[in-house]
């Protein structure tokens, strides 16, 4: 997942405050993801304490989930969950 995120708060926004992603493969194998921020020059920051955006700045955030090759090639079900501020959104990839 990739998203342009504008910081409308009056303080710096940390990377770990953006969103998180996870995958449930074949209904039984969970994989947690992490969030990184692209500074616009294809340089990425991922440590949660780093500033993602200062007030009124927009950053390009990516959620990454590392999975074994089998997840990509098997054709079995993949459920992607995005957590944005405590609200979870689910997407059935297949």
Q: How does strand 13-14 pair with strand 51-53?
A: antiparallel
DSSP state for residue 16 in the 8-state scheme: G
CA dist., res. 44 & res. 27, Å (int):
31
More reliable by pLDDT, 11 or 45: 11
Coil, strand, or helix at residue 74?
coil
Evaluate if residue 78 carries a pLDDT over 70.
yes
Q: pLDDT-based confidence at 39, cuts 50/70/90?
A: low
Q: What is the dihedral of CA 66, 41, 9, 84, to 10 degrees?
A: -20
Evaluate if residue 31 carries a pLDDT over 90.
yes
Q: What is the pLDDT of residue 49?
A: 67
Evaluate if residue 80 carries a pLDDT over 70.
yes
CA dist., res. 29 & res. 36, Å (int):
23
Q: What is the pLDDT of residues 41-67, one digit of tens each?
A: 777 766 666 888 999 999 999 999 999
Q: Which contiguous run of DSSP H or E holds residue 51?
A: strand 51-53
Mean pLDDT over the full length of the chain: 91
More reliable by pLDDT, 40 or 88: 88
């Amino acid at each position: 997942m990739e998203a342009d995120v504008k910081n409308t708060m009056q303080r710096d926004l940390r990377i770990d405050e953006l969103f998180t992603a996870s995958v449930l493969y074949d209904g039984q194998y969970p994989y947690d993801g992490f969030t990184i921020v692209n500074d616009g020059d294809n340089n990425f920051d991922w440590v949660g304490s780093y500033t993602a955006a200062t007030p009124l700045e927009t950053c390009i955030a990516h959620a990454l989930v590392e999975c074994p090759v089998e997840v990509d090639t098997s054709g079995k079900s993949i459920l992607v969950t995005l957590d944005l501020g405590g609200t979870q959104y689910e997407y059935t990839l297949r």
